[in-house]
């Protein structure tokens, strides 16, 4: 039996987390976002807080080079956390796709499942910077400048993470089946758009 999976890539502040959660609820499917960190901590025995720090962040290749040249093996423990988390989450994501219908947010899940026997729909959610700043200000209680800086920092982390582990470009439309401007359609409208596309897929 082939299960159905929707992966969601998202710009920070675009509402991708909310869209994914509401979409999963509407479909009656499992939903995975931050829960993937909890599962990785359980599977690996590693600290949840340490994995949270490494989540959706690429390992630093320059530090790897420095570690190799210095010969300090223990220097690489924290660096390897990023790779370890990616590998553990990859196995968890593959297992999810093999066992249930699910909506999975981020973590290169579109790339991880690219050759899997699964009915896969890859989505990328974006929005204008002004809308993302407003949402981030309201959600996190930040000033406009603070929200803009946070968005740029998280977008850069996600881009570097995705590009590092997939050798693809994070926001390139060729990686996704659906790209949606959540400001144009609204969060519920974005949910409805993706829902309709998935329900009517292959009809």
pLDDT average, residue stretch 56-76: 52
Whole-model pTM over 0.85: yes
Q: What angle do CA 119, 125, 130 make, to 5 degrees?
A: 175
Indicate if the pLDDT at residue 164 is higher than 70.
yes
CB 165 within 8 A of CB 108: yes
Q: How many residues does the chain have?
A: 203
For tokens 């359609």, the residue is: 185
* Bridge-based pairing state of the strands 4-10 and 119-126: parallel
Q: What's residue 180's pLDDT?
A: 98
Q: What's residue 60's pLDDT?
A: 61
Q: pLDDT tens across 6-39, in order?
A: 999 999 999 999 999 999 999 999 999 999 999 9
- Name residues whose C-beta falls within 8 Å of residue 14's C-beta, 6 or more positions apart in sequence: 125, 126, 127, 131, 132, 135, 182
pLDDT over 90, % of the chain: 79
pLDDT average, residue stretch 52-69: 65
């Amino acid at each position: 039996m082939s299960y159905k999976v929707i992966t969601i890539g998202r710009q920070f502040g675009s509402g991708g987390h909310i869209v994914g959660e509401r979409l999963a609820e509407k479909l009656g499917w499992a939903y995975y976002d931050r829960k993937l960190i909890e599962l990785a901590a359980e599977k690996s025995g590693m600290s949840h807080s340490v994995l949270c720090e490494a989540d959706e962040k690429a390992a630093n290749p320059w530090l790897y080079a420095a570690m190799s040249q210095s010969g300090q093996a223990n220097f690489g423990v924290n660096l390897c956390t990023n790779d370890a988390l990616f590998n553990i989450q990859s196995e968890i994501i593959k297992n999810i796709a093999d066992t249930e219908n699910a909506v999975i947010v981020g973590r290169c899940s579109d790339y991880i499942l690219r050759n899997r026997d699964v009915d896969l729909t890859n989505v990328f959610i974006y929005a204008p910077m002004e809308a993302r700043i407003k949402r981030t200000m309201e959600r996190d209680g930040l000033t406009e400048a603070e929200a803009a800086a946070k968005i740029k920092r998280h977008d850069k982390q996600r881009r570097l993470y995705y590009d590092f582990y997939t050798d693809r470009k994070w926001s390139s439309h060729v990686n996704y089946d659906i790209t949606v401007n959540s400001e144009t359609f609204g969060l519920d409208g974005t949910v409805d758009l993706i829902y309709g596309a998935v329900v009517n897929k292959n009809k």
